[in-house]
Amino acid sequence: MERTHRLKDKVAIVTGAASGIGRAVAARFAAEGATVVLTDKNTADGDEAAAALGKPHRFAALDVRSETEWDAVVADTVERFGRLDVLVNGAGVGIPKSIEDTTLEEWRFVHAVNSEGVFLGCRAAVRAMKEQKSGSIINVSSVAGLIGSPDLAAYCSSKGAVRLLTKSVALHCAKRGYGIRCNSVHPSFVDTPMVRALAGAARDPDKAFEQLAKSAPLGRLGTVEEVAYAILYLASDESTFTTGTEMVIDGGMTAT
């Protein structure tokens, strides 16, 4: 992997780093000179992902729904590495169900991870970053946080919440002069285990996978690296005038 140094000396926490987009972000950040704390609730794959990057990168177990685990991971990171420069809220779940089929339990589960988890992460990061008067938070929303999808009721709602929470955090930090930026990214379908599971749940998984790929005008799925590079820009000092914005990475899907 090419090594430049766009995140030299920065300390980053990435959630959902055991798989898919989060794992690619952690690898890209490490290659760009950051020290990365990979977190996930899946400890086996998370450990393996951190070991693949080597020291000083490390894995810390974190279920993003837990307030106490958030506080512990952020405090431990600041104690070990002296600061926290970047938080990427990447952990997420999806349940492919319409408004009629979604149970209250499923609705609450999706929101607990996708919305509440991002709230807890933003709050913990702001508390740590404001002491050092700098920081960048990147929340992984989705095109489903911009446009509706009939079969993703809870997911759309949770990702829409992330879009506007991001703007509230950005404005609060700007108003207080904290030097902390907060932005959201909005990918369309990206080739990860989550999307493969989505296609796998269809009656004809191969056809469903092909349809997902064709849903973007560019005619293919995005790659995890393409999303990681967008997040890298927002994490780096190249984007110091960018806050409260939404970066769309969708092969043209929302341009139609």
Ligand X SMILES: NC(=O)c1ccc[n+]([C@@H]2O[C@H](COP(=O)([O-])OP(=O)(O)OC[C@H]3O[C@@H](n4cnc5c(N)ncnc54)[C@H](O)[C@@H]3O)[C@@H](O)[C@H]2O)c1
Where do the H-state alpha helices sit in the chain?
Answer: 20-31, 43-53, 67-81, 104-111, 117-132, 153-176, 193-200, 205-214, 224-235
Neighbours of 106 (CB within 10 A): 15
Q: Which of 161, 195, 199, 247 binds ligand X (CB under 6 A)?
A: 195
Minimum Å gap between C-beta 203 and ligand X is 20
For residue 147, state whether it binds ligand X (rule: CB under 6 A). no
Is the Cβ–Cβ distance between 165 and 182 less than 8 Å? no
Q: Which of 33, 41, 78, 178 binds ligand X (CB under 6 A)?
A: 41
Contact status: 170 vs ligand X (CB under 6 A): no
Contacts of 75 (CB under 8 A, 6+ apart): 128
Q: Any contact of residue 251 with ligand X (CB under 6 A)?
A: no
Asked if 53 interacts with ligand X (CB under 6 A), we say: no
- The correct pick among 115, 142, 184, 236 for binding ligand X (CB under 6 A) is 142
The residue type found at 44 is A
Which span sits near ligand X by CB under 6 A: 12-20, 76-84, 229-237, 238-246?
12-20
> Quick one: which of 37, 30, 25, 40 has its CA closest to 8?
30
Please indicate whether residue 155 is annotated as part of the active site.
yes
Binding residue count for ligand X, defined by CB under 6 A: 29
Residue 21 touching ligand X (CB under 6 A): yes
Q: Which of 155, 178, 229, 233 is catalytic?
A: 155
How is residue 170 written in tokens?
């950005």
**Which residue stretch of 124-132, 174-182, 183-191, 230-238 sits at the interface with ligand X (rule: CB under 6 A)?**
183-191
Q: Are strands 58-61 and 86-89 parallel, antiparallel or unpaired?
A: unpaired
Name, in order, each residue with C-beta under 8 angstroms of 83's C-beta and a sequence gap of 6 or more.
11, 132
Q: In Å, how far are 6, 29, 232 from 2, measured between CA atoms? A: 12, 11, 14
Cβ nearer to ligand X, comparing 92 with 96: 92
Residue 173 as a binder of ligand X (CB under 6 A): the answer is no
Q: Tell me which residues are annotated as active site.
A: 155
Residues lying near ligand X in the complex (CB under 6 A) = 15-16, 18-22, 40-42, 62-65, 90-94, 113, 140, 142, 187, 189-190, 192-195
